[in-house]
Structure 1
Amino acid sequence: MFASNKLAAAVRYAVFGAAAASTAAAIPAYAEDAGADDAERIQVTGSRIKRTDMEGSSPVSIIDMGEVAKAGEFSIADMLRNSNLNTFGSFSESSGSTWQSQSNINLRGAGAERTLVLINGRRLPGSPTMGGTAVNLNTIPTAAIERIEVLTDGASAVYGSDAVAGVVNIITKRDYDGAEISATLTSPDQEGGDEWKAHAVAGITGDKGSATVSIEHLSRDIIYQRDRWYSRATGHDATDYGDTTGISVYARNFLDFTAGQFAPMAACDNEAMAGGGNIYDWGDGDFVCGYDYTSEAADHADRDYTAGYLSADYEISSDVSMNVMAMFTRNETFGRYAPAAGWFNVGAGQVALTPGYNAPTDENGNNLNAGRVYYRFTDVGTRDTTVVDYTTDIQVGFTGELEGYTWDVSYHYNKQDNQSTGTGYVHRPTIETLVADGEWNFGPEGNDEATVASIAHQTTADNVMDFHMWNAGVSFEAFDLPAGTVGWYFGAEYIDYDYTSTVDAESAAGEIIGSSGNGSGGSRDVTAFFGEAAVPVLENLELSIALRYDDYSDFGDNVAPKVAARYEPMDGLIVRASYGEGFRAPALSDLYAADSFSADDATDYHYCEVQGTSASDCDEEQYDVTRQSNEDLDAEDSSFYNIGVVWDVTENFNAGLEYYNLEVEDVITFVSLDALLKEEAEVGYGNLALGEVLRLNDNPDGKILEATTPQVNGNKFETSGLDLTLNYHGLATSFGEFGSNLDLTYVLNYDDEEYYDGPVNDKIGRNGLPEMRFTWKVDWEMNNHSAYISAQYIDSQAETEDPETYEQIGHLGSQTTWDASYSYATPWNATATMGVRNLTDRDPILDSNLQYDSDLYSIYGRTYFATYTQKF
């Protein structure tokens, strides 16, 4: 999907020699046409200094909106998700989760929080729903976009924090003259996920300025887990729990604290339970009933999105111009989780158990010992969450010239207000009181409406980010060298963040079963000074140098340098290299968020070993985890270098190869439960350096009851790889004109800690970390007809790894999906397009438990689309 005329080449052994002469084209403002008096000079993403050549010293890929229309994509997130640069996938709308309205981009697999997103060269703040860590791409109107430029190089020397793995710069429409209306419909073969979208764009230009406006609306249907065969539960009537999928032991079960065993409650005899109350053998004397959560839960959220956009330019005088841009968006999503599931402790004699399953009971069949109930509150109903995100983004800028100096000043305001309401949750103190007083009926007959209503709770959350940025800069040509004129740019920024996250009082107190929300907040301001120079050493060799200083009000300061070189030994051949250092400041939520509950997936290999289950048969389970922020976090430090070559082999064919290397130190991360368990295997139960795992009866061989995971600065991770791009266009035949493009990323290594302060291993090829990914497409055009076909390939991966040797185990196959479309340009200035995404109806790649990586794979299946666009 990335039609790029910026290609790079690299050979690992040559990098170090080239790095000494390398430079860092100071990172993108945004590519725009120069003024009429300097028509051949352009400002390229990667530098604030205007140049005469689009090919700078840092690689930039361009997504043209015409390419997007061929694929029938609906949003920016959809556009970027299939890119080879989004190597390990990225988050998309997930029903019922706290991030259900969010989508982001994850360049190089380094994490969405390490990919900076700009709009017209100006930083967008992170979403308050994601704690300010990453930008929600769903806030940006597609109809307003002219193109997207992706810088695949470190960029902190110009943009500051977060530009670690690269920059996504969204360029909006300006100087649009005319009008258009467009509508798109999609229809998947499989149930759910139907979409429609409509937009209108209009613009006018004059001698003194121009104005462009757009409005759009998108609607997308929900997809339930029961709508896909692989996410639908299996094994309702099985004997062994291991023969099921999609069935949870958070049903109606009792864990005896003395015997250390599970037993089904009498309330398992209920049609709401899997198999109408089927009892499963869980091994080692444990028996449970289950709940089919896939019968109610959804995977992808329903979405309704409305956005408006305005851009206006005005020439105040012959030397001064003004630009105003404003965007307003409303993004509403609806998601559904299965009924609330939670645990609470009970005393002896408070729970009626199903007879005959080795559970110690009194003469009335009630629990003899104290224990914990794992209970599904089906009578309360499903957990339904409606999230409405409101975004306002306004930029006002002035540019001018004065005695050989070009200056710019701007103000950028962004406010995101994300409001969430949830129903179907349970108030823990109320249910515990009812249980203690013997007023909650654990039998199959259930409870009356008044009792159920007394425990039901509605959650609320409001996440707000207020962002103000003031920016000023000046560029000039300082002096001449034999090879040309040295260009300079100096600038300063002041940024103010104010983040608040509030939830209802009961959720804040940790009293709600089935909810993971909690409040947090904080504020900071950042003062920055930066500069760059473009130095023509020879007629065919240019050095670029950039330096930026950032001072944060709440944790410290940072200096980020970059140096890069662009060498053109012959016409059509460019060799380039760069080295830059970067950083990522801790997000406000990383520092100040209150403790929050999470249900994390992990594999307890130790308990499996105790039970005699092999590592290959040890299944991933879900556990209760409390996540903690850390006010003492330091910023991450990073370095990024690349070396590449771009070659116009012929007039119609160009190629590029680039080697990149990214290293991040003091990595900010939550210590995952899997990481805690790996550390526990090394140091022993109760000896963890950070975090805590609590097992039943505090027994090192017991079941996991719960865990606590902190936010920390880890050691480091490092990744390197190759980007290959091949473009051929203008192949004229009697059957029309053909063109082809290939964009491929091959990851050489992805070295990361196995757990906090643990061994560092190359994880490439593990589940979710494919070694290679590419997009290949062929275009055809003849008179008013055109067609397009593309393939997206994701490499195979291992299913899991040995917990002791970390050797990869099992095989998950590769996936290739095909898209195709046909367009006809009518005589009345309209275009009609018909196409199909995922032509062969490929499902996600599934593991042995029918699980898939939702960041990597789409569940929409074969989807037909049709678009009609009328221009005036």
Structure 2
Amino acid sequence: MFLKTKLSASLVLAFGGAIAPSAFAQQALERVEITGSSIRRVDAEGALPVTVLQRADIEKTGATSVTDLLQKMPGLQGGTTESTSVGGDGKGFAGASIHNLTENRTLVLLNGRRLANYGGQSLTGNLAGFDLNSLPLAAIERVEVLTDGASALYGADAIAGVVNFITRRNMSTGDLSLGASRPKGAVAREERFSLSKGIGDLETDGFNLMASFAVDRRSPMNGTDRSFSKTGVIDFENGGKRYQAFLGSVRGAPANATDDAGDLVNPHYFRTGACASSNIKVTDPGTNKTSCYYDFASKLETYSERKRHSFFTTATVKVAPDHTVFADVLLSRNTSSGKLAAVPVEIGIAAGSALHDEYLAPMGITGDSVAYWRAADLGGRTDENISDFGNVVIGANGLLAGWDYKGAITHSESRFKQNISGYPGGLALNRLRDSGTINPFLEVGQQDAAGVAALSAVAYKGLWDAGDSKLTSADLSGSRELFQLAGGPLSLGTGASFYQEQFAGKPSLFAQGKLADPVAGTLCTPGLQYPDPGACDQRAGDAAAIVPYSAKRNAYGLFLELNAPLVKSFELNGAVRYDHYDDFGSTTNGKTSFRWTPVQGLLFRGSVGTGFKAPTVPQVKATAQPYGVTSAAYESTAALEAIATSLGAQTRPGEVQYDQTAGGNANLKPEKSRQATIGIVFEPVPSVSLGADLWHVAVRDVIGQVSEGSAFADPAKYASSWAVQRDNATGIDYIAFKADNQNLGKLYSTGIDFNVQGRTSTPLGRLTTQLLATYMLREKKQQAAGGEYFSAVGQYDPSLTTVTFRWQGRATASLKTGNWTNTLQANFKSGYKDAVAEVQIVNADGTLSGEYEDVQLKIKRYVTFDFQSQFQATKNFSITAGLLNVFDRDPPLSLANGGLGKGQMFGYDDRYYDARGRTLYVNGNFTF
């Protein structure tokens, strides 16, 4: 027996166009289902490719948060992950990126409406998306992912597509859920609690009120908790030869120092013939001079400690038979606390000083020197990221004068705050050096009690940076049937929207470089120089003078859409949208799509459209300022030295991260795109559905930054990407990388999304299977307008510093037997060529040869299996237990060092693989 149903109005409005649930909406979105089945059928398919995950589907994935859920979806890759917040620039953020087209081209909606971007977004456009941590999974009824971008309804700026979260509504029951996750080794443990309850029925009582509260927490996980991440020293074999790779810091403990030639040497090694604990001997093959690099990777956290709290409530009232008003409120807080190795600093050592005479003069050093020190006696650094999110919607929908209408006013706000500890001021360290209180050439633990106390006294603890992102919007849309065509009614949808976007960067006085004594909070006097006590101090090892700023943008849009079922088997849709930005003028974009079912069980569909995306407000209006350090460490080269000399600066010795600067660019042009899809869905039998959609996106005037990898590889080619940054502790002018916003040229991306589903009866029960996969055909991007193209498909590209997986997918098989449902899931990523790394050859006897070689690993395909068993014990109680990564596969060895969105972990790529290993989880659910 077949039962006709219709998809929700939100799917129509968010993905099908402006058409509300009129007679057309029901006709266009009707689907045929076997009773009790949610198998995708041709009759359910529209002209645009949409993947829908219902609540039952979400539970089968084993995802414990919205963030985990989207990271399991094959069509999404390239989004920021939480693990990159440790030592990276993630700030606790997690984002969604469709087809690796970045988070700021992927629009995230809640019930079909926009949300404020992250309050911790940077002035380069990094993290300029919605933070998924702000949404409680307990309140989500389903997720709808549209992988075709720039719709007339929701905006031409969603070039990559849309992720729409639909919350639970009209719920009159209660739902209590408890859960826990336990990775091996008692690390990264999670506990979860959620409670939802609704009262009233909209149809019978005329109202409904639902509220949901959720809280979860996770304990930290250290790099040393896993063999593949416990150190920056990695021994491996490749091609029948043995090698050793090493990632360390020139800022050692005890300190390295520059000699009269500007090369690094290590006084402790000179005295003892060995490097101290947690330091690795590095001999420069060109000069034969030895220094000791600090193994900072052994001090990192893989996952930070995290707590999330959320509250969602919705109230709906039927004020008349055809009119409903509603109000939604979402409040959430996400707190993560990541720990890093002790602060890396540079301290000037004057010729003739006590430290110079005792440690450097015996080595033949006669002039001034710079000590590159890891202040390990101070303890590790901590970054605490606190993100508060609020979203309020008041709206109405109904039927008026033959028009289905809906409208709402929304205010959304994301507030970010970062507290730090373990960071002293550079000038404060200089004063301790001058007083003889500290000695950077001592081993860790050898500082006397006065030295340790003095270090602790100058370590800043408190607010470092903050940001506030706001979005206030209003929207109104309506639809109606106009007249009958051969295949059904010609339907019209139209509407208007307005939004104001605001952003304010609110760095602390310390971050602004306005304090003479950061710990005491004493204001400084600009222009004074050290050793004057009123001189302005900055953070040691990571100097900054962040400039506060605020900016806003107003935009409004108008759209019109027609849906024409020309005949029963062929439907044509056309849409046009006009947008006006108060800072970028006006733009008109359109989309045309079709849906053709020549015979029963066979569907063809396609679309062609254009898009328009303005830069983020900070990308245009932020003040030029220091912007942290490069993600990777680089050696000084002759080409880099030439650029530095021309700017009156110098390069840094050894292999080290360089300072960055960045700022807004008022001359940026908006991105403009063209996108197209062509797809087929075939049902050879009613229980099997085979689907494939070929998609293509082309973007010109791509907004971004020249990658640091490209600039350091060819400094002269990117001569405009360099600036000068003075180290306030040493007074030395060093060359710095300028990560300024530019229009880089063009981007092309093409791939195929596959969706195969089936259902059958077996002697053991009902078996449901699904395969979701994405195959990347092409992805290439310019680093400069008119320049060469680079591609990261199937390889780590040194210019893009990312990887795009050729294949990524998930296969699921679920067997329902009575009250038991067992689900097995396979997750797979194709292999790729890793970054080229310079590694040392290891002799047959295990000793280091002193000879180096460039090696490029071939990363093998990576497959993990998840298993879940759900038992419906009673009508009201169910328990679910599962294993993630059943066979406990470690991430593959990677020698990539740095990259867009990458944390500091070495030995595996934390952007693409989960370090937790086999993880047991249990969830209990009680309804009442």
Using the size of structure 1 for normalisation, the TM-score is 0.86
The change in CA–CA distance for 1:822 and 1:550 in structure 2 (over 3 A counts) is same
The change in CA–CA distance for 1:176 and 1:29 in structure 2 (over 3 A counts) is farther
Amino-acid identity (%): 23
What residue identity is the alignment partner of 1:394?
Answer: V
Contact 2:268 2:275 in 1 (8 A): no
Shift of 1:434: 4.6
- CA-to-aligned-CA distance 1:348-401 (integer Å, 9 cap, x gap): 345846999xxxx54x66842234332212232211122222111111111132
The change in CA–CA distance for 1:855 and 1:59 in structure 2 (over 3 A counts) is same
| The one of 853, 866, 871 aligned to 2:922 | 866
1:28 matched to 2:19: no
| The one of 726, 743, 750 aligned to 1:713 | 743
Q: Residues of 2 paired with 1:350 and 1:560: CA distance?
A: 69
Q: Residues of 2 paired with 1:165 and 1:527: CA distance?
A: 21
Shift of 1:71: 3.1
Residue of structure 1 equivalent to 2:629: 599
Residue of structure 2 equivalent to 1:415: 413
1:847 matched to 2:894: yes
The change in CA–CA distance for 1:458 and 1:56 in structure 2 (over 3 A counts) is same
| The one of 462, 486, 492 aligned to 1:488 | 492
- CA-to-aligned-CA distance 1:594-650 (integer Å, 9 cap, x gap): 423333244758849999xxxxxxx99643333333232221111110100112221
Residue of structure 2 equivalent to 1:316: 319
Give 3-state SS (helix, strand or coil) of 1:158's partner. coil
Q: Residues of 1 paired with 2:177 and 2:98: CA distance?
A: 31
Equivalent residues in 2 for 1:145-544, closer than 5 Å: 145-160=140-155, 162-206=157-201, 207=204, 208-233=206-231, 235=233, 243=244, 245=246, 247-251=248-252, 252-254=254-256, 256=258, 258-266=260-268, 274-275=276-277, 279-285=281-287, 286-350=289-353, 352=355, 361-362=360-361, 367-435=365-433, 440-444=438-442, 445-446=446-447, 448-460=451-463, 461-509=465-513, 511-515=538-542, 518=546, 519-544=548-573
Q: Residues of 1 paired with 2:767 and 2:141: CA distance?
A: 24
Residue of structure 2 equivalent to 1:589: 618
1:116 matched to 2:119: no
Residue of structure 1 equivalent to 2:527: none
Shift of 1:478: 2.3
Residue of structure 2 equivalent to 1:9: none
What residue identity is the alignment partner of 2:15?
Answer: P
Residue of structure 2 equivalent to 1:654: 689
Contact 1:540 1:567 in 2 (8 A): yes
Q: Residues of 2 paired with 1:178 and 1:603: CA distance?
A: 56
**What's the RMSD between the two structures over aligned residues?**
3.6
Identify which range, 638-647 or 848-857, moves more after superposition: 848-857
The change in CA–CA distance for 1:375 and 1:228 in structure 2 (over 3 A counts) is same
- Paired residues, number: 814
The change in CA–CA distance for 1:321 and 1:828 in structure 2 (over 3 A counts) is closer
Q: Residues of 1 paired with 2:438 and 2:142: CA distance?
A: 60
The change in CA–CA distance for 1:313 and 1:282 in structure 2 (over 3 A counts) is same
Q: Residues of 1 paired with 2:568 and 2:492: CA distance?
A: 18
Q: Residues of 2 paired with 1:235 and 1:810: CA distance?
A: 16
Q: Residues of 1 paired with 2:194 and 2:836: CA distance?
A: 48
Q: Residues of 1 paired with 2:543 and 2:134: CA distance?
A: 24
Residue of structure 2 equivalent to 1:60: 50
Give 3-state SS (helix, strand or coil) of 1:632's partner. coil
Give 3-state SS (helix, strand or coil) of 1:113's partner. helix
Shift of 1:846: 1.5
Give 3-state SS (helix, strand or coil) of 1:218's partner. strand
Shift of 1:78: 0.1
Shift of 1:33: 9.7
Q: Residues of 1 paired with 2:357 and 2:156: CA distance?
A: 58
The change in CA–CA distance for 1:61 and 1:649 in structure 2 (over 3 A counts) is same
Shift of 1:586: 0.9
Residue of structure 2 equivalent to 1:139: 134
Contact 1:603 1:674 in 2 (8 A): no
- CA-to-aligned-CA distance 1:570-607 (integer Å, 9 cap, x gap): 12211011011112221122123342333324475884
Q: Residues of 1 paired with 2:872 and 2:780: CA distance?
A: 50
Contact 2:378 2:455 in 1 (8 A): yes
What residue identity is the alignment partner of 1:599?
Answer: V
Residue of structure 2 equivalent to 1:631: 666
Contact 2:329 2:391 in 1 (8 A): yes
Q: Residues of 2 paired with 1:423 and 1:695: CA distance?
A: 24
The change in CA–CA distance for 1:246 and 1:68 in structure 2 (over 3 A counts) is farther
Q: Residues of 2 paired with 1:597 and 1:351: CA distance?
A: 35
Contact 1:463 1:501 in 2 (8 A): yes
Q: Residues of 2 paired with 1:281 and 1:605: CA distance?
A: 14
Q: Residues of 2 paired with 1:427 and 1:606: CA distance?
A: 26
Q: Residues of 1 paired with 2:354 and 2:139: CA distance?
A: 60
Identify which range, 74-83 or 581-590, moves more after superposition: 581-590
Equivalent residues in 2 for 1:644-793, closer than 5 Å: 644-680=679-715, 684=716, 688-692=718-722, 706-729=736-759, 731-753=760-782, 758-767=787-796, 768-793=803-828
What residue identity is the alignment partner of 2:737?
Answer: A
Shift of 1:197: 0.6
Q: Residues of 2 paired with 1:648 and 1:692: CA distance?
A: 58
| The one of 75, 86, 93 aligned to 1:95 | 86
Q: Residues of 2 paired with 1:237 and 1:746: CA distance?
A: 33
Contact 1:779 1:788 in 2 (8 A): yes
Identify which range, 373-382 or 541-550, moves more after superposition: 373-382
Give 3-state SS (helix, strand or coil) of 2:427's partner. helix
1:819 matched to 2:814: no
Residue of structure 2 equivalent to 1:614: none
Contact 2:229 2:908 in 1 (8 A): no
Give 3-state SS (helix, strand or coil) of 2:366's partner. coil
- CA-to-aligned-CA distance 1:1-51 (integer Å, 9 cap, x gap): xxxx99xxxxxxxxxxxxxxxxxx98528999948x999457799xxxxxx
Contact 1:793 1:817 in 2 (8 A): yes
Q: Residues of 2 paired with 1:855 and 1:432: CA distance?
A: 38
What residue identity is the alignment partner of 2:700?
Answer: E
Q: Residues of 2 paired with 1:785 and 1:253: CA distance?
A: 62
Q: Residues of 2 paired with 1:64 and 1:420: CA distance?
A: 36
Q: Residues of 2 paired with 1:220 and 1:199: CA distance?
A: 15
The change in CA–CA distance for 1:55 and 1:277 in structure 2 (over 3 A counts) is closer
Q: Residues of 1 paired with 2:244 and 2:354: CA distance?
A: 28
Using the size of structure 2 for normalisation, the TM-score is 0.81
Contact 2:79 2:94 in 1 (8 A): no
The change in CA–CA distance for 1:785 and 1:145 in structure 2 (over 3 A counts) is same
What residue identity is the alignment partner of 2:605?
Answer: R
What residue identity is the alignment partner of 2:923?
Answer: T
Residue of structure 2 equivalent to 1:554: 583
Shift of 1:340: 1.1
Shift of 1:118: 0.3
Contact 1:353 1:366 in 2 (8 A): no
| The one of 61, 70, 80 aligned to 1:71 | 61
Q: Residues of 2 paired with 1:694 and 1:464: CA distance?
A: 30
Q: Residues of 1 paired with 2:485 and 2:234: CA distance?
A: 79
Q: Residues of 2 paired with 1:324 and 1:747: CA distance?
A: 42
The change in CA–CA distance for 1:204 and 1:631 in structure 2 (over 3 A counts) is same
Structure 2: any 5+ residue segments left out of the alignment? 7-11, 32-41, 237-242, 514-536, 642-653, 727-732, 797-802, 839-853, 897-905
Contact 2:324 2:398 in 1 (8 A): yes
The change in CA–CA distance for 1:516 and 1:54 in structure 2 (over 3 A counts) is farther
Give 3-state SS (helix, strand or coil) of 2:315's partner. strand
Q: Residues of 1 paired with 2:612 and 2:117: CA distance?
A: 16
What residue identity is the alignment partner of 1:249?
Answer: V
